[in-house]
Structure 1
Amino acid sequence: MPKSLHHDICDKFRFSKLYDTYAQSLGNILLYKYGDLLNPTDKVQEAFIKLWENCSKVTPESVKSYLYTTANNMMLNEVKHQKVVFKYQQVKPQDYDNESPEFILRKKEFLERFERVLSQLEEEERVAFLLNKVDGKTHKEVAEILGITKKVAEHRIYGAFKKLKNQLEELN
């Protein structure tokens, strides 16, 4: 096994580089998988705090896996917690003063339809699609992030796009 150039991730400079490298994409993946209501950026921060606390135990080769696993587990715990919270709380819609009622209704209907169609996609398709279309990642980058081939990434992205297009065309 080749020797790693960076033996100590507890070094502040190296840790800062790790943060710069992984924080944005990790936050985006959590956002795509779980949505914005569960504060994915907070979970990214907490994952980096756990990494800092355990920096002497984590090897440089396993940093990415450690961060993604830790953040994902934190999000799963938050989902469990939110199920209890949402039982007793309703999210109130935001009021708009400067838009016509017709526009608000059409926008609400479209967003509900879009979210429903997006949620009906398989997780693999949804994550690949959002990484590509929202985050601007290339097919090759999506493939690397998800650990799949470029062709599989393309298939997932185009499949999701086709399903979204077919379901949403009915609104026009």
Structure 2
Amino acid sequence: MTEQKDPLCEEAKFDAFYHDHVRSLRNFIYYKFGNAEQSDDVVQESFIRLWKNCAKVTLDTAKGFLYKVAINLSTSLKRSEKVQLNYTEQTVKVEFDQESPEYVMLEKEFMDRLTDAISSLPDKQREVFLMNRVEKKTYKEIAELSGVSVKAIEKSMHKALLKLRDKIGDV
């Protein structure tokens, strides 16, 4: 008995499967987690993992495998973002505790306004702002991760900074 090659491992079959499911998977992840750029990244990584496991996954189970991988990746990303935000808040808090009570109060008020202003930014602008200011990524790195031009990242960052200035005011 010879082992047959799974049709999913054939490039043409995989390509057809990709084109049949890429848009619906991207929309599903975007609607579930609310971030278009991360949705694109998650979908791409999900298909890469499907291709790497094509010998283990049949054509009948491929869609379920793909969605499960995408949901797990998205959940991990959200969890990572939450941990990163908590770490940033704790780091800032430790630095303020060493100052006078008036300074600590003013800083806390400012941080509350800043956090509210950042969270009110549109998803793309917030993501660009946080990647640049928190993760210390360059515009070029952000553009590569997002799949857009450096100019588009510069424009998003400019808009984010203008909105933050309007929300917080000149300090």
Tell me the TM-score normalized by structure 1.
0.48
Which has more radius of gyration? 2
Structure number having the greater helix percentage: 2
Tell me the TM-score normalized by structure 2.
0.49
